[in-house]
Amino acid sequence: MSGAKILNVTGLNNSEAKWVALDKIEYQDPSGKKRVWEMCHRTSRKGDCDAVVIFTILSATKDKPKETLLVSQFRPPVGKLTFEFPAGLIDENETAEQAAVRELKEETGYHGVVREVTPIIFSDPGLTNANMKLVVMDVDRSLEINQNVVAVPDEGEFIDVFHIPVDKLYSFLIEKANTTHAVDARLLHFAFGLNVASKI
């Protein structure tokens, strides 16, 4: 994956952009005063939710502890390899549950079962309306379908899959963020919550 790199960056206007756009919002603040805010939105949204983000729990086996799955890929906006939860945009006429099962299979090869889906949550509400649901999935490693799995990424996707013991997630991510990788903030917040739960 070390071959990926940024070649050139240029400004882009809405009329030339396919996936994103800027908006000027005129709004009334709580005191009644008229103000302006600038934002970015994804133009790809099909329903009321852009994407699913997947927290996977891989069952323990006789050789392996309970693990979760991370994906690593070169992300042009940050110019680096990232660590993120498996995730993807929801297709037209697809539920969040269906998108999660499909994306987990595509990105990691595993067949998972949905345990829980959160309401819609917002990536960075001061900057964008980009939103998602967090989906918790169980992967039973004793099943035939989950032996020797093979990912089936979309064209143009180059994704490495990592199996990380759940209790090592936070220390793994901090080490990577301090050295070589860009770590997704939602993933790190999750790992931080897991890690501090026993300490506060």
Instruction: For residue 11, state whether it binds its own copies (rule: CB under 8 A).
Output: yes
119, 142, 144, 148: which one contacts its own copies (CB under 8 A)? 119
Smaller CB separation from its own copies, 5 or 148: 5
The greatest distance separating any two alpha carbons of the chain, rounded to the nearest whole angstrom, comes to 64
Residues 33-72 close enough to bind its own copies by CB under 8 A: 34-35, 37-42, 53, 55, 57, 66
Smaller CB separation from its own copies, 111 or 181: 181
3 state DSSP class of 138: strand
Q: Which stretch binds its own copies (CB under 8 A): 25-33, 90-98, 105-113, 146-154?
A: 25-33
Distances 58 to 2, 96, 130, 157, 187 between C-alpha atoms, Å: 28, 20, 28, 23, 17
Smaller CB separation from its own copies, 2 or 148: 2
CA dihedral of 103, 104, 110, 116, whole degrees rounded to 10: -130
CA gap 167, 191 in Å, rounded: 9
Residue 100: in which H helix or E strand, if any? helix 96-108
Smaller CB separation from its own copies, 74 or 101: 74
61, 122, 145, 163: which one contacts its own copies (CB under 8 A)? 122
Beta bridge partners of 54: 135
Residues 127-186 close enough to bind its own copies by CB under 8 A: 127-132, 134, 136, 156, 158, 166, 174, 177-178, 182-186
